[in-house]
Amino acid sequence: MDDKYLNFDEKRMSIFNELVKRYWNGNLKDVDDLNKLADYIKNEYGFNDSDLPFIRDHIRIAMGQDPKGDEAFKDELDILKSSNSVLQPVVSKLDGPCKQCKNEHCDCCEIGKYETDVYRRLNENISCGYGVSKCDFGALADKIEFMPMIELLRDKVTPVYVTVAPAIVGQFGDDISMGQLRSAFKLLGFKDMIEVALFADILTIKEAYEFNHLVKSEEDFFLTSCCCPIWFNMIKKIYPNIYDYLSPSVSPMIASGRILKTLYEGAKVVFIAPCVAKKAEIKEPGLEGAIDFVINFRELKEIFDALNINLQELQDDDKDQASFGGRLYGRTGGVSFSVKTVVNRLEPTRVIKLKAQKVNGIQDCKKVLDGLYSRIKGDANFIEGMGCVGGCVGGPKTNIDVEKATKKVNEFGEDSFILTPFDNLNVMKILEQFNVKSFQEIMHNDNFEKILSRK
């Protein structure tokens, strides 16, 4: 492998960094400026003229656009200024570096025998994102969705809200608070930052009522669909005979977009994620339009760096928005814990208790679903699955390791003054705006139920 291709994920982030810096500061206005950027990257990393198509394609992908091979820059900036979204496919494959790959079992081409089969059935064999992370010489890359947002943030007319995954805590430094992150987003032009854990609280209540309604005997079981699009799509596409046991709830991310756009007419919503799969989820039929763009943790770190935003120097604009349980959605077992607290509040004398099974990682998810598919059920009646090992804290686009991230999520959850979703006054305020007068009415208010359910 030629050294210039090695550690390309780091070089790719450098390309994105330069792109953001130049465009934000008005130094990227025409084709000549794009060519200057390509030449800068070529010289900086020891590429030659024959590599320029490869470099140009990575610049396009960093702008949220499709690669074009040998084509010179033409209308990329015009497309950028008029973009309202980033189109499928989420992940692009560039053939050039593959010619240098000596790995007979390359993750680009075969992300493990089972995983390749899963993603092919999902019509996008690399949508999980781990293939992108494992390929570190530039053959695979997920489109970055920040550049089309810049004009939106600049116009100061359209309110743009940012919602953040629970796994974000600790990702930008041990001493960086969520309040400082809120201040940083406001500097970028966002109206406000909202914890997605708040919307997880709402969905927790919904799923607790669903569990109570559906699990009536020792043979019954309930599959939660809440967080992970990989888990949901595995069941829907590959295990159709147990699909009816799956909660119809959307993810907290989708719920956040739908609710905020209903409350604030004309608003745009951006989600900050630990993975690539969320970029694909917002484009799924029936879910599109809830979230406008997705940025992952690694990309956000580059944005802060490119724009000289020093988080440590910012004011702590803190708000307590979500419960202990809602914040635990960021790690394996968090959904089960949260739903169980609500089920116990709803029916403390319930004969059939919620017994959770928590699985994480593609292979372990497969084993559990294979058993359910074959009608081999264990003692558990509430099965929570997440595609990443450790849950969202183990996502492929995180900045810290899974053990440290899990600890940070637990600590942040414990810091909440709100013990359970039932105690969250922020939830009650949202329900009141939808004319939902009680928690139980979540299941009987048709308009609100549609917002929380897959169409």
Q: Is the pLDDT of residue 376 over 80?
A: no
Instruction: Report residue 1's pLDDT band, with 50, 70 and 90 as the boundaries.
Output: low
> How far apart, in Å, are the Cα atoms of 96 and each of 45, 71, 394?
16, 14, 30
- Mean pLDDT in residue range 351-359: 94
- All structural domains of the chain with their residue ranges: 3-143, 149-197+254-313, 205-251+321-452
Instruction: Report residue 30's pLDDT band, with 50, 70 and 90 as the boundaries.
Output: very high
Q: Is the pLDDT of residue 411 over 90?
A: yes
- Mean pLDDT in residue range 149-175: 95
Instruction: Please classify residue 14 by burial: count the beta carbons closer than 10 Å to its beta carbon, then call 0-12 exposed, 13-18 middle and 19+ buried.
Output: middle
| Per-residue confidence (pLDDT) for residue 103, from 0 to 100 | 64
**Segment 295-338, tens digit of pLDDT:** 999 999 999 999 999 999 999 999 999 999 999 999 999 999 99
Residue 235 near residue 368 (C-beta atoms within 8 A): no
Residue 202 near residue 362 (C-beta atoms within 8 A): no
What secondary structure, in 3-state letters, does the chain show?
Answer: CCHHHCCHHHHHHHHHHHHHHHHHCCCCCCHHHHHHHHHHHHHHCCCCHHHHHHHHHHHHHHCCCCCCCCCCCCCHHHHHHHCCCCCCCCEEECCHHHHHCCCCCCCCCCCCHHHHHHHHHCCCCCCCCHHHHHCCCCCEEECCCCHHHHHHHHHCCCCEEEEECHHHCCCCCCCCCHHHHHHHHHHHCCCEEEEHHHHHHHHHHHHHHHHHHHCCCCCCCEEECCCCHHHHHHHHHHCHHHHHHECCECCHHHHHHHHHHHHCCCCEEEEEECCCHHHHHCCCCCCCCCCCEEEEHHHHHHHHHHCCCCHHHCCCCCCCCCCHHHHHHHCCCHHHHHHHHHHHHHCCCCCCCCCEEEEECHHHHHHHHHHHHCCCCCCCCEEEEECCCCCHHHCCCCCCCHHHHHHHHHHHHHHCCCCCHHHCHHHHHHHHHCCCCCCHHHHCCHHHHHHHECC
Distance CA 131, CA 136 (A): 9
Which residue, among 241, 253, 242, has the nearest Cα to 194 in the 3D structure? Answer: 253
Residue 396 near residue 388 (C-beta atoms within 8 A): yes
Which residue, among 218, 209, 441, 201, has the nearest Cα to 328 in the 3D structure? Answer: 201
**Segment 36-45, tens digit of pLDDT:** 999 999 999 9
Which residue, among 386, 127, 454, 359, has the nearest Cα to 231 in the 3D structure? Answer: 386
How is domain 149-197+254-313 classified at the architecture level of CATH? 3-Layer(aba) Sandwich (3.40)
| Per-residue confidence (pLDDT) for residue 253, from 0 to 100 | 98
Q: What interhelical angle do 252-263 and 196-214 show, nearest 10?
A: 110
Residue 167 near residue 392 (C-beta atoms within 8 A): yes
State what percent of residues in the chain have pLDDT above 70: 91
| Per-residue confidence (pLDDT) for residue 7, from 0 to 100 | 83
Q: Is the pLDDT of residue 118 over 50?
A: no
356 Cβ partners below 8 Å, 6+ apart? 333, 336, 337, 340, 380, 382, 383, 384
Strand 140-142 with 91-93, pairing:
antiparallel
| Per-residue confidence (pLDDT) for residue 138, from 0 to 100 | 81
CATH class of 205-251+321-452: alpha beta
Q: Which two tokens stand for residue 5?
A: 């291709």
213 Cβ partners below 8 Å, 6+ apart? 443
